[in-house]
A and B are shown apart, each in its own frame.
Chain A
Amino acid sequence: MITPEPSHMHTTFRSLVTSIHGLLFGSLFLIAIAATALELLRQQVMVRPAELTPLGRFLERAAYIKMAAFGWIAVLLGTYVIYPWYRSKPPAGANLADYPRSLLLSSPNTAAWHSFGMEWKEHVGWIAPIVATMLAVVMIRHAAALRVDKRLGRAVLAFACAGLLATAVAGFFGAMLDKTAPVVGGATYTVMGGHHG
């Protein structure tokens, strides 16, 4: 009888932080800004505005504040924690798997993931939290005005759509870059341990 090899689920510190950036805060932000764009669109076509209870108003305002907060956390984590790991320069003879930017640029088959994907993501991603913060403030302070003044409502909706587009681009390239050249390294953690069979 063959004794099964023990199996574990390992991850590294950098992988974990990257997941928190994209899968947690990035995803929550994408959902929140999409919901806000949908709400603005709904306000443009509704016949009679919905009236909320005090609890409903509180929850609505909290949702807008959380949207902006998720956006800022995602973009700041990405820019100031993960991006330095991504772009760090390898010493001579180093394994490029630990240096995602250099790994991507080392092959013509993957170079555009950096020169197009990362270059676009790192800049367009910053549009999203700026727009989200503006949306949160305007929706909390002037939601009624957006319902009655269609020009204002449509302009704010256009910004929400741009923010959603920026988030989608950043999210898509973030996911694809992490599949092609994942950010790894740092301490290794065992998320789960067990045995085959």
Chain B
Amino acid sequence: MAELENSYSGAPSAVQGSVCAALVSAGLGCFVLGLTDVLADASPALNKAFNIYNPTGALSGETTLAVVLWLVSWFVLERLWTARAPKLGAALGAALAMLLLGLALTFPPIVDVLTGH
């Protein structure tokens, strides 16, 4: 088993595609989480629109949208990329960029700069 695993340097194409789908969709979910945080802070109208459960406020809509987009994109990308793997560098780069942006956009001082508060 160890010899078999060490005998090639890359995963099979379908497996690469599946892992990329998981990473890119998770990155997208994180990015949407950060983006909706900024949008809800910048716009009272969007803040109201995101308020789908009043006791929790806009956070309810922001997180629901992020989770729905994450799961839908995962399902779609999994089907697409197990059939035909994406360019690995581009997919991993996009996933990591969206993850970092998502983390940055949840950081209050950055949100304040972007929204002018």
Contact = CB atoms under 8 A, between A and B. Distances in A.
Contacts of A87: 55, 57
A145 B11 contact: yes
Given A49-B2, A116-B108, A159-B23, A148 B9 contact: yes
Nearest to A146: B19
A72 to B, nearest CB: 10
Interface of A: 48-49, 51, 79-80, 83-84, 87-88, 115-116, 119-120, 122-124, 126-127, 130-131, 133-134, 137-138, 141-142, 144-152, 155-156, 158-159, 162, 165-166
B65 to A, nearest CB: 11
Given A123-B33, A130-B70, A137-B22, A158 B63 contact: no
A123 B109 CA distance: 13
Interface string B11-38: 1100110111011011101100110010
B88 A48 contact: no
A15 B20 CA distance: 41
8 contacts: A49-B5, A88-B55, A122-B59, A130-B29, A134-B23, A141-B18, A148-B5, A159-B99
B96 interface: yes
A137 B22 CA distance: 8
A159 B10 CA distance: 20
Contacts of B25: 134
Contacts, number: 120
A116 B106 CA distance: 10
Contact-size category for B: 35 or more
Contact of A162 (B5, B99, B107, B111): B99
A149 B96 contact: no
B92 interface: yes
B96 A79 contact: no
Contacts of A122: 59
Contacts of A138: 19, 22-23
A79 B108 contact: no
Contact of A130 (B10, B12, B15, B30): B30
Contact of B106 (A123, A130, A152, A159): A123
Given A83-B56, A115-B108, A130-B30, A123 B37 contact: yes
Nearest to B92: A155
Contacts of B89: 151
A84 B30 contact: no
Contacts of A49: 1-2, 5
A115 to B, nearest CB: 7
Contacts of B66: 126, 130
**Residue of B12, B59, B108 with most partner-chain A CB within 10 A:** B108
Given A80-B53, A155-B23, A120 B33 contact: no
